[in-house]
Structure 1
Amino acid sequence: MRYLTLIIIIMLFGCKTQKLQLETVNQLDLKKYTGTWYEIARLPNSFEKGLKCTTANYSINDDGSIKVVNKGHKTDEPDKVKQSTGKALVPDKAEPGKLKVSFQWPFYGKYWVLKLDPEYKHVLVGTPSGKYLWLLSRNPDMDDREMLEYVEYAKSKGFNIQNLIYVAQDCNP
């Protein structure tokens, strides 16, 4: 029990990170957002380490929550796929761009929609800690000009774009 208390204290007070001043999109049509998104770029994270051809697929559950299925091929064994299924919620309808995502209940992380193409072709998602950032597209590749626009936007918000990983999307479907 003592160790559990120590872990909780460390989680609450020991992991102090600087928060970015982020604004999210004012409108998010979840029906338009559903479907497959290809990961174009991301900040390094442990759960996608060594993955390429990563995608996120969103669908709406009967209860209004969002089913999230993330997939990626291992770079050293491209025939092997790693998949995670989770659930996303919009906790406050007044702030539709501030979602919460869980891949291991009861723990939820922030999933903030920061910049979204009006036609839902490209999206920039991040966290106010600045630790996580994803650039997603409806297609496995993205026009360089558009990609630069999203990356520069992320930089202007304080994300460390020097560490961006540009994701290879060269796997067979």
Structure 2
Amino acid sequence: MAEVSAVKRSIPTFLLVLLIVFGGCTGRPDGVEPVHPFDIQHYKGEWFEIMRLDHSFERGLTNVTATYTLRDDGSVDVLNKGFDRKNCRWKDAAGRAVFQGDRDTASLSVTFFWPFAGGYHVFALDQHDYGWALISGPSRSYLWILARQPDLSVDIRNRLIDKARGLGFPVDELILVDHGSTTCVPGGSP
């Protein structure tokens, strides 16, 4: 009976350790400083993915957007959407983001599949119009350039790439996201 009781007491501890270990990585790379001041009211809405470091969850997607909607509890609904031309269909992922600290610092934790969360750190931002942003994930393997329009001037893109390069991101691996036609022939090419 004492052994069963000890096991019952250790289960919550084990689950807590699992949650901490596998709950995701919400940290940020050394040197990446989130934008401050940051206004989520101004940041909300639709953003177009201009460039990204490619990952399996976005591989092959074009016309990628991220839409941020404020919730009454202070968190943010996240809807990422992209077009899979190979299979001629839209894909999306819905998640929820919460601030990691003060709401005026652009450092959030985003969860798409509970309990797994990842860091979302805006470290360059058009402070005047919120027209473009440079975002890091929890490591230098995650980098996005977003804009309010499906294109961004080469000058601004190059400045953002230079900033990321200076912080050690593998910018030579960035891909330019196509925001062209989503017309395709099922089973064929666009």
TM-score, length basis structure 2: 0.78
Aligned mate of 1:149, from 155, 159, 164: 159
Give the number of the structure whose alpha-carbon radius of gyration is greater: 2
Instruction: Return 5+ residue gaps in structure 1 as ranges.
Output: 13-17
One-letter amino acid matched to 2:45: G
Aligned mate of 2:72, from 62, 75, 85: 62
CA contact (8 A) 1:21 1:128 kept: no
Distance 2:146 2:179 in 1: 12
Match of 2:113 in 1: 104
Matched, 1:124 2:134: yes
Aligned mate of 1:166, from 176, 182, 185: 176
Instruction: Compute the displacement of 1:171 (Å).
Output: 3.1
Matched, 1:39 2:53: no
One-letter amino acid matched to 1:68: V
Q: 1:24–1:76: structure 2 CA closer, same or farther, 3 Å change rule?
A: same
Match of 2:145 in 1: 135
Instruction: Compute the displacement of 1:20 (Å).
Output: 3.1
Match of 1:80 in 2: 89
Aligned mate of 1:28, from 24, 38, 42: 38
CA contact (8 A) 1:56 1:68 kept: yes
Distance 2:165 2:99 in 1: 26
SS of equivalent residue, structure 2 residue 159: helix
Instruction: Return 5+ residue gaps in structure 2 as ranges.
Output: 1-13, 23-27, 184-190
Paired positions, count: 162
SS of equivalent residue, structure 2 residue 100: coil
TM-score, length basis structure 1: 0.85
